[in-house]
């Protein structure tokens, strides 16, 4: 490999890091070079974010040495790391939302003069943006930007600081397919310019497409480092998990669906309207029905009403017009509690904001839906033994990697939080499941498990509204796919034999002529 002749940008040797009883990293060696895109993969909780946070100066290792650009260093803070040209785009963005783009870029930079002058920075950002395909308005306040744009700000900010080593922690998890493709182009361009890029992702196709080398972590240890060109999904997955994964042999996207559901309608939306956070209309009259045993996918570019749709159905947002009926009964503007008791499970987009409580332990989070009823409740009391049993079973059934039920939820890796949330929501045999990006940030093994769970629920007769930006996921799980654009349903297409191109057009707001779907036989092994 030519890359091996390039000078090493990062050399981590024997890195160890513990959090209480958890060994997040143990004896990790990691080497990446200038001019390469180096992917870091592994299951949820494998220690990827921890390792990179050490490199970025945010965490201090308990053991091991670190060299950057050939020089041994000890990092005491992110500031020192940035000084050495190492910058990280974190899984949760590190932007100050009320600040403008330029202000965020200026934050922490040494510059002459006491005044806050953004003119020069704005110009520099425009130039950088043009050069690397990262266009964004430097004067826009960050909270007005889409997630994809915010990510561009993160990258621009590091480039502007003169970072030569860029670490991106699951950058594509929150992007639309189009945005992800753009990001991949940007990263390849940067590598060609001599940057060293470290790229964490759970999407193995994407990893193989963008990376030169792939290092695999399992339970805090390196289990392999291979050239992307000499590897494939299957062998990577085997390294990550330590066993063979069924779904990776045959792509789930190509599994055909059996009979179309004929059950009673469980969710009926009629002319549903709601306003977004900024008070602008977000849902402009949605008509949609989901039957028992049916999964309806909702596709669309982020910000076209998906979140508001889920929130309005589950009672977290007021409907300003129209009706929601659940199981034939009117549920418009009922409280979230009433709706949940009507048998609705909710997997929200932002699990820490709307689904879980970071400061509470796992057991507390596990019982949130059922602590009011026996066997967990007896009169006003919660039965500790029953809670422990329930929580332990949930953790075990769903393979949540955690020291135990007393662990604080916030310390879990994102994927493990998601497994717990799904386990809790599906435990009550709901008749309607509203799931928003259920596998975002979740590793391949867990994605497989979550898909299996959702399929089992469908078979059991649950109605599912699955909101996702991952077309493969929708095609794999849904019976019909509704495309949202600017708060309206642009079209509803049967998933079997759906044409991704037509879906793409609908997502862009182009009505491909008539509502009848253009059927086409899938070419590759369909």
Partner 1 sequence: MDEVLSVAFLTSVLAAAIPAGTAILYACLGELLCERAGVLNLGVEGMMLMGALGGVAATLWSGSVWVGTLGALLVGAGMASIHAVLTVGLGANQVVSGLALTLFGGGFSAFLGQDLVGRPVPATFGDLAVPVLADIPEIGRILFRQDALVYVSYALVPLLWLFIGRTRAGLRLRAVGERPEAADAMGVSVGRLRALYVVLGGALAGVGGAAISLGTNPGWQEGMTAGRGRIAVALVIFAGWNPLRAALGAYLFGGVEAGQFRLQGAGVPVSSFFLNMLPYLFTIAVLVLATREAARRRLGGPAALGRPYAREERG
Ligand X SMILES: Nc1ncnc2c1ncn2[C@@H]1O[C@H](COP(=O)(O)OP(=O)(O)OP(=O)(O)O)[C@@H](O)[C@H]1O
Under the binding rule (CB under 6 A), the answer on residue 42 touching ligand X is yes
Nearest to 245 by CA among 235, 260, 257: 235
Nearer to partner 1, 88 or 168 (CB): 88
Q: Mind giving me the DSSP string for 346-376?
A: EE-SSHHHHT--TTSBHHHHHTTTTTTSTTT
Q: How far is the CB of 81 from partner 1 (least distance, A)?
A: 9
**Partner interacting with residue 103 (select from ligand X, partner 1, Mg ion, none; CB below 5-8 Å by kind):** partner 1
**Partner interacting with residue 404 (select from partner 1, ligand X, Mg ion, none; CB below 5-8 Å by kind):** none
**Options 19, 234, 374, 393; binder of ligand X; rule CB under 6 A:** 19
CA distances from 58 to 50, 68, 103, 331 (A): 9, 15, 22, 47
Nearer to ligand X, 431 or 437 (CB): 437
Cis amide leading into 311 (omega within 30) = no
Nearer to partner 1, 150 or 176 (CB): 150
Q: How far is the CB of 103 from ligand X (least distance, A)?
A: 28
Structure tokens at 376: 């967990």
Nearer to partner 1, 99 or 371 (CB): 99
Under the binding rule (CB under 8 A), the answer on residue 411 touching partner 1 is yes
- Give the footprint of ligand X on residues 122-161 (CB under 6 A): none
Using left for φ > 0, alpha for ψ between -120 and 50, and beta otherwise, residue 445 falls in alpha
Using left for φ > 0, alpha for ψ between -120 and 50, and beta otherwise, residue 60 falls in beta
Answer positive or negative: Cα dihedral of 342, 343, 348, 354: positive
Under the binding rule (CB under 6 A), the answer on residue 352 touching ligand X is no
List the beta strands (DSSP E) in 119-188.
Answer: 165-169
Contact between 164 and 34 under an 8 Å Cβ cutoff? The reply is yes
Q: In 10 A of CB 346, how many CB atoms?
A: 24
Residues 322, 324: Cα–Cα separation, whole Å: 7
Element (H, E) at 456: helix 444-460
Under the binding rule (CB under 6 A), the answer on residue 49 touching ligand X is yes
Under the binding rule (CB under 6 A), the answer on residue 22 touching ligand X is yes
Under the binding rule (CB under 8 A), the answer on residue 98 touching partner 1 is yes
Total residues at interface with ligand X (CB under 6 A): 17
- Give the footprint of ligand X on residues 167-196 (CB under 6 A): none
Collapsing DSSP to helix, strand or coil, 52 comes out as: helix
Burial of 491 (0-12, 13-18, 19+ CB in 10 A): buried
Nearer to ligand X, 304 or 439 (CB): 439
Under the binding rule (CB under 5 A), the answer on residue 49 touching Mg ion is yes
Nearer to ligand X, 351 or 502 (CB): 351
Q: What angle do CA 283, 286, 287 make, to 5 degrees?
A: 175
How do 165-169 and 329-330 pair as beta strands?
unpaired
- Annotate each residue in 74-113 with x if it binds Mg ion (CB under 5 A) or - if it does not, as one string: ----------------------------------------
- Annotate each residue in 373-412 with x if it binds ligand X (CB under 6 A) or - if it does not, as one string: --------------------------------------xx
Give the residues lining the site for ligand X (CB under 6 A): 19, 22, 24, 42, 44-50, 411-415, 443
Give the residues lining the site for partner 1 (CB under 8 A): 19, 56, 58-60, 77-79, 82-83, 88, 90, 93-99, 103-104, 106-109, 111, 113-116, 157, 277, 352, 358-359, 408-411
């Amino acid at each position: 490999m030519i890359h091996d002749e390039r000078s090493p940008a990062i050399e981590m040797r024997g890195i160890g890091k513990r959090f209480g009883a958890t060994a997040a990293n143990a004896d990790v060696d990691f080497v990446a070079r200038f001019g390469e895109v180096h992917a870091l993969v592994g299951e949820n909780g494998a220690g990827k974010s921890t390792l990179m946070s050490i490199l970025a100066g945010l965490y201090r290792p308990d053991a091991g040495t670190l060299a950057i650009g050939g020089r041994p260093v000890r990092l005491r803070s992110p500031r020192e790391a940035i000084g050495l040209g190492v910058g990280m785009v974190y899984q949760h963005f590190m932007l100050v939302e009320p600040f403008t783009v330029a202000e965020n870029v200026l934050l922490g930079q040494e510059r002459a003069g006491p005044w806050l002058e953004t003119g020069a920075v704005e110009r520099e950002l425009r130039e950088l943006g043009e050069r690397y395909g990262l266009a964004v308005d430097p004067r826009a306040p960050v909270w007005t930007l889409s997630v994809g744009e915010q990510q561009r700000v993160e990258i621009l900010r590091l480039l502007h600081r003169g970072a030569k080593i860029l670490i991106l922690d699951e950058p594509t998890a929150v992007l639309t397919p189009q945005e992800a493709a753009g990001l991949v182009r940007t990263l390849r361009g940067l590598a060609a310019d001599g940057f060293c890029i470290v790229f964490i992702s759970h999407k193995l196709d994407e990893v193989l497409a963008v990376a030169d080398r792939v290092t695999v972590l399992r339970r805090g240890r390196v289990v392999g480092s291979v050239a992307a060109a000499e590897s494939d999904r299957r062998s990577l997955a085997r390294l990550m998990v330590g066993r063979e994964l069924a779904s990776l042999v045959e792509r789930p996207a190509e599994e055909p669906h059996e009979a179309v559901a004929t059950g009673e309608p469980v969710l009926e939306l009629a002319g549903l309207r709601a306003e977004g956070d900024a008070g602008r209309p977000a849902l402009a009259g949605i008509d949609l029905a989901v039957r028992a045993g049916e999964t309806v996918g909702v596709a669309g570019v982020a910000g076209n009403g998906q979140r508001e749709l889920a929130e309005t159905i589950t009672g977290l947002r007021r409907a300003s017009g129209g009706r929601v009926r659940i199981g034939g009964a009117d549920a418009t503007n009922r409280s979230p509690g009433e709706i949940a008791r009507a048998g609705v499970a909710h997997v929200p987009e932002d699990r820490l904001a709307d689904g879980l409580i970071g400061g509470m332990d796992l057991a507390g989070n596990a019982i949130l839906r059922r602590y009011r009823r026996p066997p967990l409740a007896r009169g006003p009391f919660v039965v500790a033994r029953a809670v422990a049993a329930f929580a332990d079973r949930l953790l075990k059934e769903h393979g949540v990697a955690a020291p135990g039920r007393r662990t604080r939820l916030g310390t879990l890796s994102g994927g493990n939080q998601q497994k717990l949330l799904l386990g809790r929501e599906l435990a009550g045999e709901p008749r309607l499941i509203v799931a928003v990006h259920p596998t975002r940030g979740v590793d391949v093994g867990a994605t497989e498990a979550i898909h299996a769970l959702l399929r089992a629920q469908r078979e059991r007769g649950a109605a599912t509204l699955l909101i996702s930006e991952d077309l493969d996921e929708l095609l794999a799980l849904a019976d019909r796919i509704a495309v949202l654009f600017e708060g309206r349903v642009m079209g509803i297409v049967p998933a079997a034999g759906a044409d991704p191109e037509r879906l793409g057009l609908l997502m862009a707001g182009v009505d491909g002529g008539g509502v009848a779907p253009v059927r086409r036989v899938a070419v590759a092994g369909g």
